[in-house]
Structure 1
């Protein structure tokens, strides 16, 4: 789409939202894949003065219900079909049991009864006389997890979104000739930092990719004229091995690593033309993304410590500050951030609705433990958080899901590292001796409860007991010793 065509579609949807009676400040839940409908819907909602809660496509009824109960949205938006599923049907069913939800809307053919078509709203075009409406609340809500808290909302205002785009534009020196190839959904910080935010303020072109398919992604690199993209290190290794980055048809001038792997920067420097360089993109506990241009002096997978700022045309902009603060456990340190780029965090554990910040200095915890070495922050593994396929999951949530299976006397999750998925999820179980045990039965149980598929374990391992300390906390390293 051209910017002019996008403008017409955005105006038509914004006017439709207003026609339905959605008022400035109302929250709508948007569950859309990484297609053109996603950024158009976000822009239309903001033009109508609405707050968007962007949720992952893999969320099912369990996760959607939790988010709706927390936010009390006025509307839900989804797709008629995606990857063999019927997301709009699921949204309609969730809406049927929640009084705050007045409308369910969707894209695509064969929408279920009770779901209105946004395709029709775009085709009808914008009516005369509609004007943008202001929203004094947050612009975007995304979600993460913290130890003991399965769903933690992150509230981003317009300024934070624009600053995230400014960081990307300034760090990579982007202009209107650049094409951003973004394979990350706009429901998380990477998709915002790599695609949505720099596109909004940089006048670039935006190419979206969903769901991830290596052959299609390579085709997009070579046919869209993509100049910027970022991927996990393992995927970038494959692109380098296949000679894609060094192909004369490839226009990439900035190739990013999402949480770096060793030696990739050196490979890019050695194998790619001089005008092509790498950058590191760090999703700081899903709060925001920090972008650093490639340098051989950097230690891969570490964070800068202190104030992070950049200069452009004689003006210096401060984006955020990183630091180590006291953790919840005695002697533990956790990485925290503060600054205009950092969203507000509302903790489920907070009884007063205040932010999750426990510190008087305005720092917000990322959920990542850390330590300082050579003026860089090194991330230390937190056993109570699981990082699987781009999702942050509270280990306690998986424990509870597996323990609820009636054939188990006790259960807990544990993980092993995986070069592609991050963490591979396993279930350690103490079975009821009188009942049969199988992974398929556990998966069927979780599917019947409409739990997101990425929370299902890959393997089930029988143990004699689940080790715990004197406070009842699961000792996950001791589980591994039993196996």
Structure 2
């Protein structure tokens, strides 16, 4: 492929692996795909994946999507997701990552804010008709010109991408620039909902931090239980896979039996998973029964909880703590032999951090307000820059860092950094962030006496709880408003065990 500069793109990394080992196993679907989407699980070599990527890219170009147009993607953690992202890049498009739990309200806002020209989804995810959700959201986004999906029983007007993949085509040649936006994820800051575009170079920088700090070997088989609809989720799966050139196996959270079977059958070398899940797997003996699994990346969406986490004692596997600061950036720290979290200090951090001459992975600093700030090759400064009209002094330069909003301090004796609290006014439920005032606004729509609040949770940061005169009617009303299940299921009856289990699954991811 022609490139407009010498810097690699994600598709460029894929093509390099393809040239070396076309018949090597590239992508493996979750075992429980039939339950998730109703389709059979897929296994693809690099050559097979390349053929599918080319077919999808050609389809996007033929649909009239111009270079650098935004294509929104809402798919589960399955092979189709990764094929679609790489195909969009091969067609010169920018991918907007839509979280799986988003419903019509969030989808419509995201599509309109990014000016998306197309949306890709699948017929159903866990029994929910995401194809119909996409059609309804697209009807409220005037920029959408093309709606397509995977799976059977697609609604009228939605193009079938399964049919597209079935027809082999020549790979399209589109110039890609690693310095231009590759993906758009979505964050919530004190200023509200914020699209966060990132270049290929930003993504690769984040992937290098994870792969180098966690000591992943070339050709490793990585099992990812991270939903790839955020910067961290995408980096800990797609980007790490492309940097190590091995096999990416996927697990749609969460099925204990299927998960352990995947680790054993695929001889997995590494795992990326939410921190709460990683610790649970260590406690229940799953990792002890998987001696080949040598590296675990635990992603902490509540980074203030790392320092109080238990020591890691799984002898055959090592743990790398990955601190996530919303969509602003991440920090990785490989635990030493004693299994305790590695003390983090302010300043420049290398990747890997204990190697002489390691490259700059990023820098931590404290703001005058006592909050943690980030800068470095993965941090998208422009996405968080304040508008000129909002500055107190119009002529003043914007800061050269991103303020994460996390309260932090340094230990006077050791100099170790302590993250003490999440951003004020923001509630994080697993991978989903809300302004606390938004919860109050939605509760008001349910009438007098209704309450929707966030309660502290050890694993997910917060969990949502609601109270109304009629909980069943409250759930119906919130669903009709197009809100995601985290809010809807907050009004579950206390006696409903199934609702409690569903809430636990949601908040975990």
Task: Output the TM-score relative to the length of structure 2.
Answer: 0.79
Q: CA 1:267–1:134 in 2, change beyond 3 Å: closer, same or farther?
A: closer
Counterpart residue number, 2:454: 415
Asked if 2 retains the 8 angstrom alpha-carbon contact of 1:425 and 1:456, the reply is no
Rounded to whole Å, the distance in 1 between the matches of 2:174 and 2:438 is: 41
Give how far 1:402 is off.
0.9
Give how far 1:19 is off.
1.1
Task: Output the TM-score relative to the length of structure 1.
Answer: 0.83
Rounded to whole Å, the distance in 1 between the matches of 2:293 and 2:267 is: 8
Asked if 2 retains the 8 angstrom alpha-carbon contact of 1:152 and 1:345, the reply is no
Picking from 285, 299, 307, the partner of 2:348 is: 307
- Pairing 1:75–2:115 present: no
Rounded to whole Å, the distance in 2 between the matches of 1:85 and 1:176 is: 38
Rounded to whole Å, the distance in 2 between the matches of 1:121 and 1:110 is: 16
Give how far 1:262 is off.
6.1
Q: CA 1:301–1:445 in 2, change beyond 3 Å: closer, same or farther?
A: farther
Counterpart residue number, 1:279: 320
2:203 counterpart SS class: helix
Counterpart residue number, 2:22: none
Moved more, 368-377 or 158-167: 368-377
Rounded to whole Å, the distance in 1 between the matches of 2:228 and 2:379 is: 17
Asked if 2 retains the 8 angstrom alpha-carbon contact of 1:386 and 1:394, the reply is yes
Asked if 2 retains the 8 angstrom alpha-carbon contact of 1:302 and 1:379, the reply is no
Rounded to whole Å, the distance in 2 between the matches of 1:402 and 1:424 is: 16
Rounded to whole Å, the distance in 1 between the matches of 2:108 and 2:338 is: 46
Q: CA 1:372–1:348 in 2, change beyond 3 Å: closer, same or farther?
A: closer
Picking from 266, 270, 285, the partner of 2:311 is: 266
Picking from 422, 444, 448, the partner of 2:476 is: 444
Q: CA 1:353–1:126 in 2, change beyond 3 Å: closer, same or farther?
A: farther
Picking from 408, 419, 424, the partner of 1:379 is: 419
Give how far 1:2 is off.
1.0
Asked if 1 retains the 8 angstrom alpha-carbon contact of 2:343 and 2:416, the reply is yes
Counterpart residue number, 2:403: 365
Moved more, 106-115 or 363-372: 363-372
Picking from 127, 131, 136, the partner of 2:173 is: 131
1:21 counterpart SS class: coil
Rounded to whole Å, the distance in 2 between the matches of 1:28 and 1:351 is: 29
Q: CA 1:419–1:66 in 2, change beyond 3 Å: closer, same or farther?
A: same
Rounded to whole Å, the distance in 2 between the matches of 1:413 and 1:386 is: 12
- Pairing 1:37–2:69 present: no
- Pairing 1:56–2:99 present: yes
Rounded to whole Å, the distance in 1 between the matches of 2:181 and 2:473 is: 42
Asked if 2 retains the 8 angstrom alpha-carbon contact of 1:265 and 1:296, the reply is no
Give how far 1:211 is off.
3.1
Give how far 1:6 is off.
1.0
Give how far 1:200 is off.
1.5
Q: Output one character per residue of 1:333-385: Cα deviation in whole Å (capped at 9) or x when no partner.
A: 2211011111246469847699xxx9844111223222222323322324411
Counterpart residue number, 2:217: 175
Unaligned runs of 5+ in 1: 328-332, 430-436, 462-483
- Pairing 1:230–2:267 present: no
Give how far 1:278 is off.
1.3
Q: CA 1:315–1:11 in 2, change beyond 3 Å: closer, same or farther?
A: farther
Rounded to whole Å, the distance in 1 between the matches of 2:162 and 2:389 is: 41
Asked if 2 retains the 8 angstrom alpha-carbon contact of 1:221 and 1:250, the reply is no
Picking from 167, 182, 189, the partner of 1:146 is: 189
Moved more, 183-192 or 306-315: 306-315
Rounded to whole Å, the distance in 2 between the matches of 1:282 and 1:395 is: 22
Moved more, 24-33 or 189-198: 189-198
Which protein has the bigger helix share? 2
Picking from 372, 377, 380, the partner of 1:340 is: 377
Q: How does 1:185-264 map to 2 (within 5 A)?
A: 185-247=227-289, 249-259=290-300
Moved more, 101-110 or 383-392: 383-392
Q: CA 1:48–1:353 in 2, change beyond 3 Å: closer, same or farther?
A: farther
Rounded to whole Å, the distance in 1 between the matches of 2:139 and 2:167 is: 28
Give how far 1:215 is off.
2.2
Asked if 1 retains the 8 angstrom alpha-carbon contact of 2:471 and 2:491, the reply is yes
Rounded to whole Å, the distance in 2 between the matches of 1:234 and 1:94 is: 33
2:367 counterpart SS class: strand
- Pairing 1:108–2:156 present: no
Q: Output one character per residue of 1:91-121: Cα deviation in whole Å (capped at 9) or x when no partner.
A: 1122123221100010111111111011111
Rounded to whole Å, the distance in 1 between the matches of 2:58 and 2:173 is: 8
Rounded to whole Å, the distance in 1 between the matches of 2:352 and 2:482 is: 48
1:210 counterpart SS class: coil
1:408 counterpart SS class: coil
Moved more, 296-305 or 366-375: 296-305
Rounded to whole Å, the distance in 1 between the matches of 2:437 and 2:386 is: 14
2:196 counterpart SS class: strand
Rounded to whole Å, the distance in 1 between the matches of 2:385 and 2:476 is: 29
